[in-house]
């Protein structure tokens, strides 16, 4: 499965448009989807990616619940990738990230580390 890295520095803003929610394997049973690498519950967050005069909302999967991410919150995204997929004649692009956190938290963490 090929992943295509996305340079988030090219966006003029990234804002949470849909709050984090656990991804489900089965809606009837409520069984949650788990990340194969970390064992953490996968969450889906709707992000508004803004560049110049255009904006797109994409659903991004991330392992673990993104703390402090709410609708309208500017966020930073680490290691965002697009993953093309095809299944039984259907196809699309899934988006994954290693981490999503509020922009102010990322700035505070950088300042504390200097």
pLDDT tens digit sequence for 12-54: 999 999 999 999 988 888 899 999 989 999 999 999 999 999 9
71: pLDDT strictly greater than 70: yes
Domain 4-113: top CATH class: mainly beta
Q: What pLDDT does residue 1 have? A: 59
> Encoding tokens for residue 65?
């619940």
The model's pTM? 0.85
What is the share, in percent, of the chain residues with pLDDT greater than 90?
80
108: pLDDT strictly greater than 80: no
| CA 85/CA 14 separation, integer angstroms | 24
Q: How far is CA 19 from CA 33, 87, 91, 99, 100, in A?
A: 17, 27, 25, 14, 11
Phi, psi of 103 (to 5 degrees): -60, -40
Q: What pLDDT does residue 68 have? A: 94
Question: What is the number of other CB atoms lying within 10 angstroms of the CB of residue 14?
Answer: 22
Residue whose pair of structure tokens reads 């991410």 in the numeric block: 69
Q: Residue ranges per domain, the chain?
A: 4-113
90: pLDDT strictly greater than 80: yes
106: pLDDT strictly greater than 70: no
Confidence of residue 83 (pLDDT cuts 50, 70, 90): very high
Q: What pLDDT does residue 92 have? A: 94
| CA 49/CA 37 separation, integer angstroms | 26
Question: What is the number of other CB atoms lying within 10 angstroms of the CB of residue 80?
Answer: 23
**Which residues does 31 contact at the CB level (< 8 Å), separation at least 6?**
24, 25
């Amino acid at each position: 499965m090929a992943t295509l890295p996305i340079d988030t520095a090219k966006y003029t803003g990234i804002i949470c448009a849909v709050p984090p929610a656990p991804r489900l394997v089965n809606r009837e049973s409520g069984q949650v989807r788990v990340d194969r690498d970390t064992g953490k519950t996968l969450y889906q967050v709707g992000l508004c990616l803004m560049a110049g005069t255009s904006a797109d909302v994409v659903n991004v999967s991330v392992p673990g619940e993104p703390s402090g991410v709410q609708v309208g919150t500017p966020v930073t995204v680490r290691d965002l990738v697009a993953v093309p997929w095809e299944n039984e004649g259907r196809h699309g692009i899934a988006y994954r990230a290693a981490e999503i956190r509020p922009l102010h938290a990322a700035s505070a963490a950088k300042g504390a580390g200097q």
